[in-house]
Amino acid sequence: MASVCTAEATRAAEQRWFDAHPGQDLMDIAAQAVARKAQELLLGGAVDEIMPDWAASQCVLVLVGGGNNGGDGLFAAAALAQRGWRVELAQVMGQPHEAGMAAALDAGCIRVSLGEVTSHSYDLAIDAVLGIGGRPGIPQSLERIDTWLRARQIPVLAVDLPSGLDANSGEVESCVHAAYTITFSSLKWCHIAHPAARYCGELEVHDIGLDFVDDDGECLDDVDEYCDLAEMASLWPVPGALDDKYSRGVVGIDTGSEKFPGAAVLGVLGALRTGPGMVRFSGPSAIMAFILSRAPSVVIGEGRVQSWVIGSGWGTHDGNADRFSQRAAEGVPMVIDADALALLPAELPEGCLLTPHAGELARMLRIERSQVVADPRGSAVRAAQRFGATVLLKGSIQWVARPDGGVRAALPGPAWTAQGGSGDVLAGMCGTLMAAGLPADDAALCAAGMQAATAISMPGPYAPDQIAELLPGTVTTVLSR
């Protein structure tokens, strides 16, 4: 499990560091890390104490903004110049950090105008224009420089985050395209949430000594955990030599209707491609032949299962309440999706998972959708506590909240997955993992994260059933890391 911080949490941690280290500064620590990373990139590997003769022939462009991010870049520029690199400084916006600029010029760095940049040659550019406090988007002057750098295949090293990104989200207006990003002490949401993540390039988190817990050992506000690939690999149920189809888990699927048979197919495919011992389909008899035409290994009819997936594609029918009650009476954990979310009883079997999107969660909580969008994390927690079940709130960042108030985020996926049917596949995946014995929160984190990882590996307009077919390869790759 990895931590991810908002800009606010980072500032709070920085202030705690300053309070504990009066008279000291974090900027030099961060700048030295940036300079070392730049040297590694220029040298093509680890930094050597002895600089090669050809180092002086290479030139680094440092794009500078105002404030501390620009200061990090200027002190890094000074360190590089002191080691023998040629460094040019281009002020993009704001007033330069006074001490940083003085140090850079004293070390031999050269100031150039933005207009001069495109007539020079560079081996590396350092983006130190906007940091975690910057507003989304970049000025046209920087957009032009970014386009020029990409056209000439000059790699960009971003300080903390590529200029123009919002540290707290995956949204993108306009930004610098970084090949590498070095950030400090913790990831920010823009580093892992798409589409912003794809502009960050190769990430490195450098520890500069920030502490993200308070005096009581509790995480600071706005510090969250997300389930990364390593965590998914450790949680994912892998069959042993003595396992059979029953010990691996049987997942029951009661989804779909004559009007929406595709939802049932997608849920079955999601369940099958996640690795169950067996999938049992007990939905409407009118669509059973259709299910078998797509998934011949599915067992049709009633029988014992370790989890149920219900609700996807039910539509609105008078018999839905009885359909829900029948499955709930069996007492096994359920994945409750789509139309079944409107039928939640006063008490659910232990270990259930609710999988709403923002609109569905708003209806469940009887609030406006805009309120859920404004506070998805808090909304998921409130729903989990109200209904006594784990909640997986689907969206660009997928929050998994437990009834006890615990909350984590799944690995975010690309915006390509925001399409009808993705949730049906996800529900089936969750059902398989719960049938295999994972608690609802771990199942939700692993299923959402594995679906995201699959989409990340194959970006583009792949339909949900195509993503489902690619899941086994992603699982294999993640488990072999």
Q: Is 133 annotated as a binding residue?
A: yes
Q: Is 178 annotated as a binding residue?
A: no
- Residues facing residue 392 across a β-bridge: 400
Q: Is 216 annotated as a binding residue?
A: no
Q: Is 336 annotated as a binding residue?
A: no
End-to-end, the C-alpha distance of the chain in Å comes to 15
Q: Is 163 annotated as a binding residue?
A: yes
Q: Is 296 annotated as a binding residue?
A: no
Q: Is 137 annotated as a binding residue?
A: yes
CA distances from 481 to 200, 299, 428, 450, 478 (A): 22, 33, 25, 14, 5
Q: Is 134 annotated as a binding residue?
A: yes
Q: Is 423 annotated as a binding residue?
A: yes
Q: Is 127 annotated as a binding residue?
A: yes
For residues 56 and 333, give the distance between their C-alpha atoms in angstroms, rounded to a whole number: 65
Q: Is 270 annotated as a binding residue?
A: no
Q: Is 123 annotated as a binding residue?
A: no
The closest of 205, 160, 193 to 178, measured between CA atoms, is: 160
Q: Is 168 annotated as a binding residue?
A: no
CA atoms within 13 A on the CB side of 280: 16
Q: Is 72 annotated as a binding residue?
A: yes
Q: Is 115 annotated as a binding residue?
A: no
Q: What are the binding residues?
A: 68-72, 127, 131-137, 160, 163, 263, 313, 357, 423-424
Q: What are the binding residues for AMP?
A: 423
Q: What are the binding residues for (6S)-NADPHX?
A: 68-72, 131-137, 160, 263, 313, 357, 424
Q: What are the binding residues for K(+)?
A: 69, 127, 163
